[in-house]
Amino acid sequence: MTYKNKLERSKYILKKLESLYPETPIPLDHNDPYTLLIAVLLSAQCTDLRVNKITPKLFKKAQTPSRMIQLSIEEIEDIIRPCGLSPQKSKAIWNLSKIILEKHQGIVPQTFEELEELPGVGHKTASVVMAQAFGHPTFPVDTHIHRLAHRWKLSNGKNVLQTEKDLKKIFAKNLWNKLHLQIIFYGREYCKARPHEIKNCPICQEIS
């Protein structure tokens, strides 16, 4: 059966994703909002698998803002180098830790505005933290979700922010936090950027 209507496609996609991924564990290992924030920052242009190998080494030395700023930026950079972009990321980690201590009493802020004011924290990183640490309904859009939203004809957005707006209009707010993880899991397993073989992609088989 081919689903031409956007509403029909979205209902089929939801049903299929729920059957494939009834549980959605958070991919990045963490202990609290602060360690999640650091892990998400490190995941930029880096795989979750690699981040999960690096963060235990970092958090063994510093898993709170007060401990982190006791390290030098060079020490942080040396630990996180395998994650890529280590000069920028190490400075961001040290500086955001200092701001969290001085401005937020050592507690990760719980608003988009305050999170996005932190060094190295963009809208996507803030969205992930708001969703996964604080349970706030958000729809973080990464490259996987952006790609699949186009393939599934749910959005023709030219950037992730427009794709996020389109998906929020289609899907109920109470589904967003789980759904964004389900789409990521599906994109990694079945609907990769290249090669993309429709015969191996259950959803694209049905809605293309």
Of 34, 59, 41, 39, nearest to 49 by C-alpha is: 39
Residue with tokens 């030219």: 158
Instruction: Enter the tokens of residue 11.
Output: 């209902």
Say whether 4 is catalytic. no
Specify the amino acid at residue 39: A
Catalytic residue among 6, 29, 48, 142: 142
CA distance 15 to 67: 45
Say whether 98 is catalytic.
no
Q: Check residue 29 and report its DSSP letter.
A: -
Contact between 124 and 131 (Cβ < 8 Å):
no
- Give the catalytic positions in this structure: 124, 142
